[in-house]
Amino acid sequence: MEAYGGGSNAPDKPDKPDGPEGTDTADGAAGAGASVPPAGPGSLPRPRSSGGAERPADPAALPPAGTGPAASSGPADPSGPAAPSAPGTAPAPGTPAPGAAEGIAALSPLYQAGAALALAVVAVAVCVHLGMVFLHVAPSNTVSKEHGKAVDEWIYPEFEQNWKLFAPNPLQQNIGVQVRAETGSAGGDLRTTGWYDLSAQDGRAIEGNLLPSHTQQNELRRALDFYADTHDGDSRATGPRGALSEQYLRRIVVLRLDRAHAAGAGGRLERVQVRVRTINVPPPAWSGEKVSTTPAYRLLPWWAVPAGEAQGGVA
């Protein structure tokens, strides 16, 4: 058989379209070591440079000037300064400007002085309060003996401290405060009211209340504790604060009676009397402890109501 060669008997190659500048497209691709896929329907030919290299069809795809390989003289230094942002790029919302002051330093000098003064006043008040509470609960010492009156005036009655909740034997009694009054009418007639249970009134106000007031929870209880600590079993004052505790308790019950309109229309409160009822809390069934649940009463003396307090005011 006769082999095909480059002679005249070799089969003719199919005609191929000539590339730019007379270069055979297929031969050029084969010479570059790559095959060119056939163009699909409706596709545009890729532009080429004069040297045969492909160029991007879209000018926007070109890299910015100065960012190509020729612009870099070596590997980037990670410790060097960050590249500046492109001109016209706005910072993200909420980002402070470089070098801008923040916090109190951003305020004017006048406002800075006001903020520093307010912080100083709060710090001094906190330190004074903590010091007073410490002297109140600490064992007797030279400072508390010298300034005991000032400490008591600061603490009582709002900041009184006690440890009954943590006592080995907590309170196991329900103590109620009741009051009655002697009232005078416009015609000069006197009458005695029934007993008003002030503790029960506070209990009803607290029950079901997610945010009961400090007055409803503690005012009456602390006033009674104050009175009991400064009086003996016969209601005689045991110290210089006995008169103050009596006045404090009396004013509270007079205010409560005035709100309840105990004197009636046109009447006035002449005297009030406080009664303390104590009932033991029944022990649990498993304890086997036996206690009496019969109420015990302590009757305090009648107190005359000054004219300035008779209508619920403060003398």
Nearest Cα residue to 259 out of 187, 192, 181, 188: 181
Q: What is the pLDDT of residue 279?
A: 95
Q: Over 80: is that where the pLDDT of 304 sits?
A: yes
The 3-state DSSP class for residue 177 equals strand
Cα 292-175-194 angle, rounded to 5 deg: 105
- Arithmetic mean of pLDDT over the chain: 77
First-to-final CA distance of the chain = 142
Place of tokens 């706005």: 90
H and E: helices and strands count for the chain: 8, 6
Q: Over 60: is that where the pLDDT of 219 sits?
A: yes
Residue 44 or 184, more confident: 184
Residues 75-90 have pLDDT tens digits of: 555 555 555 555 556 6
Q: What is the pLDDT of residue 171?
A: 74
- What is the C-alpha to C-alpha distance for residues 223 and 219, in angstroms, rounded to an integer? 6
How far is the CA of 211 from the CAs of 160, 206, 261, in angstroms?
Answer: 21, 8, 27
Nearest Cα residue to 312 out of 245, 267, 246: 267
Residues 246-281 have pLDDT tens digits of: 999 999 999 999 999 999 888 899 999 999 999 999
The 3-state DSSP class for residue 214 equals helix
Q: What is the pLDDT of residue 156?
A: 84
The 3-state DSSP class for residue 71 equals helix
Helix residue ranges, H only, 260-302: none
Residues 16-67 have pLDDT tens digits of: 545 444 444 444 444 444 445 555 555 555 555 444 455 555 555 555 555 5
Segment 288-293 mean pLDDT: 87
